[in-house]
């Protein structure tokens, strides 16, 4: 028995050791972790105290607002076109026997010049025949007039009162008078047809195109060519509502002698040289364009191939031009760079204490380079022309080029 107990004893000791590690070891590890964490917190070095840094000023670029008397100008583009352009067509039929040397593309003519002539012989014969008919009708009328006088005299000698119209031959006289009038009308019509064999220019102008030549037979209404008048050349210009406001042009404007239209200069490059033609706004449309929401205005240049030309260079049809329309004159305008304008009506102003101020302004006009203000900014004030992130009234700014800005830049580089 004793030998058996000695053999079992080592097994009880091993079991006890295993139970110890299973139950006691996790508790020992947990306690050690807690003690270690506390120790690290106690012996951790304290952070150094840093001085609070001041808010950095936003660097900006500024420009000075300048006072200037401004002539407002609106710029638009359009194509020159004759105000009057027609198709030339005959009013009679016949064979063409004459074509003017100027009736060619680009040819020039005066009002009343014969451009084309149709063979006149047939119409001359009609005139002769109509003249003979007039002479015959006149003779008959004279005869009936004499017969009527005799009948009236005879009736008066009978002394039987007032005679009947038929007895006095009044219907016959009226018929003869009507026949004479008809013959005279036919004669005048024949003369008119003969005159129409010569197709004359209804105005001074130029030939756009030519469609016929000598020997062709034409009928009434046939297309002989296209011509246009050179008395006035017009340019159709699209303007927005704000541009109309700058010019003070109402919808449906019409130029009169008492109220002339705005002056306009039209420019284009012709044969490698810049050219300028002067005209006026003659009228505006009475409605907005449905698709583009603009209003078309019409600039006119008088005698574009003569007195209105620029040193001999005419304002030719179909030439694309840029129009500069003179508007109102502003005596006390304030001019700032276009970059200073934020949105439609705001400007950032740099105060003397190096803070930013947001101001609402009244804009008279603006283009790609500058804006003209009539309120909100005074001459001499500095406006910010550089981008500003998170702009708000009162934020600190550092003006580029100022000593404070240079100091701030050096400090930033050191840090």
Q: Splitting the chain (415 residues) into consecutive groups of 10 residues, what average pLDDT does each group show?
A: 46 61 66 67 58 70 90 91 96 96 95 96 95 94 84 69 68 88 95 96 96 95 96 95 86 90 94 95 93 94 94 94 89 90 92 93 85 90 92 90 50 42
Quote the pLDDT of residue 54.
55
What is the pLDDT, as a whole number, of residue 363?
A: 87
What per-residue confidence (pLDDT) applies to 23? Answer: 63
Residue 348 contacts residue 307 (beta carbons within 8 Å) = no
Domain boundaries, the chain: 59-70+331-414, 74-82+231-328, 92-227
Q: From residue 175, give the alpha-carbon distance in Å to each of 144, 145, 182, 290.
A: 9, 11, 11, 62
Q: What are phi and psi of 332, to 5 degrees?
A: -120, 55
CB neighbour list of residue 223: distance below 8 Å, 6 or more residues apart: 87, 88, 89, 211
Q: Of 70, 373, 72, 68, whose CA–CA distance to 247 is shortest?
A: 72
As given in the structure block, the two tokens for residue 146 are: 């004499």
Q: Which of 341, 398, 399 is nearest to 370 (CA)?
A: 341
The helix/strand/coil state of 130 is: helix
Q: What region does 412 belong to: left with phi over 0, alpha with psi -120 to 50, or beta?
A: alpha
- 92-227, CATH topology level: OB fold (Dihydrolipoamide Acetyltransferase, E2P) (2.40.50)
Q: CA-to-CA distance for 98 and 198, rounded, in angstroms? A: 9
Question: According to CATH, what is the number of the domain 74-82+231-328?
Answer: 2.40.30.170
The reply to whether domains 59-70+331-414 and 74-82+231-328 share a CATH topology is no
Q: Does the predicted TM-score (pTM) go above 0.85?
A: no
What percentage of the chain's residues is helix, strand, coil (to nearest 5)? 30, 35, 35
Q: Is it true that domain 59-70+331-414 has CATH number 2.60.120.1440?
A: no
Residue with tokens 């004459």: 98
In this prediction, residue 221 carries a pLDDT of 94
Could you give the CA distance from residue 258 to residue 260 in angstroms, rounded to a whole number?
Answer: 6
| Cβ 107 vs Cβ 205: under 8 Å | no
- Confidence at residue 210, expressed as pLDDT on a 0 to 100 scale: 96
Centre a 10 Å sphere on the Cβ of residue 381 and count the other Cβ atoms it contains: 19
How many residues make up the chain in this entry? 415
In this prediction, residue 51 carries a pLDDT of 52
- Under 8 Å CB-to-CB from 357, ≥6 apart: which residues? 348, 349, 350, 351, 393, 394
Q: What is the pLDDT of residue 366?
A: 81
Buried b (16+ CB within 10 A) or exposed e, 350-359: beeebebebb
Residue 240 DSSP one-character state? -
* Helix (H) / strand (E) containing 333: strand 320-337
Q: Which H or E run includes 382? A: strand 382-384
DSSP-derived 3-state class of residue 272: coil
User: Which two three-digit tokens encode residue 245?
Assistant: 């406001």
CA distance 97 to 60: 81
Contact predicate 305/230, CB 8 Å: yes
Q: What's the pLDDT score for residue 66? A: 92
83 burial type by CB count under 10 A (0-12 exposed, 13-18 middle, 19+ buried)? middle
Token pair, residue 181, equals: 């009038």
> What's residue 174's pLDDT?
87
């Amino acid at each position: 028995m004793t030998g058996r107990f000695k053999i079992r004893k080592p097994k009880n000791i091993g079991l006890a050791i295993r139970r110890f590690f299973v139950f006691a070891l996790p508790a020992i590890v947990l306690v050690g972790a807690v003690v270690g964490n506390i120790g690290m917190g106690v012996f951790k070095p304290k952070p150094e105290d840093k001085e609070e840094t001041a808010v950095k000023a936003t660097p900006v670029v500024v420009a000075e607002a300048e006072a200037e008397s401004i002539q407002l100008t609106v710029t638009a583009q359009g194509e020159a076109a004759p105000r009057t352009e027609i198709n030339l067509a005959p009013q009679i039929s016949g064979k063409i026997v004459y074509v003017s040397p100027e009736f060619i593309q680009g040819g020039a003519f005066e009002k009343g010049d014969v451009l084309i002539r149709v063979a006149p012989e047939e119409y001359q014969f009609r005139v002769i025949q109509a003249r003979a008919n007039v002479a015959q009708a006149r003779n008959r009328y004279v005869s009936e007039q004499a017969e009527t006088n005799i009948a009236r005299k005879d009736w008066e000698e009978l002394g039987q009162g007032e005679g009947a119209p038929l007895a006095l031959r009044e219907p016959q006289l009226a018929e003869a008078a009507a026949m004479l009038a008809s013959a005279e009308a036919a004669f005048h019509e024949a003369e008119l047809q003969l005159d129409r064999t010569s197709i004359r220019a209804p105005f001074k102008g130029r030939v756009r195109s030519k469609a016929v030549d000598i020997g062709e037979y034409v009928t009434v209404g046939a297309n002989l060519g296209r011509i246009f008048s050179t008395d006035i050349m017009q340019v159709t210009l699209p303007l927005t509502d704000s541009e109309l406001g700058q010019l003070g042009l109402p919808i449906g404007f019409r130029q009169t002698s008492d109220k002339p239209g705005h002056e306009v200069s039209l420019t284009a490059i012709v044969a490698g040289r810049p050219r300028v033609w002067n005209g006026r706004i003659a009228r505006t449309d009475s409605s907005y364009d449905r698709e583009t929401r603009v209003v078309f205005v019409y600039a006119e240049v008088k005698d574009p191939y003569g007195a209105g030309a620029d040193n001999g260079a005419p304002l030719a049809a179909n030439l694309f031009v840029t129009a500069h329309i003179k508007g109102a004159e502003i005596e006390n305008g304030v001019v700032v760079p276009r970059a200073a304008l934020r949105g439609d009506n705001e400007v950032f102003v740099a105060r003397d204490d190096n803070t930013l101020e947001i101001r609402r302004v009244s804009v008279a006009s603006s283009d790609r380079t500058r804006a003209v203000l009539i309120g909100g900014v005074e001459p001499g004030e500095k406006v910010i022309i550089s981008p500003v992130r998170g702009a708000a009234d009162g934020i600190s700014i550092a003006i580029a080029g100022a000593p404070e800005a240079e100091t701030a830049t050096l400090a930033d580089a050191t840090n």
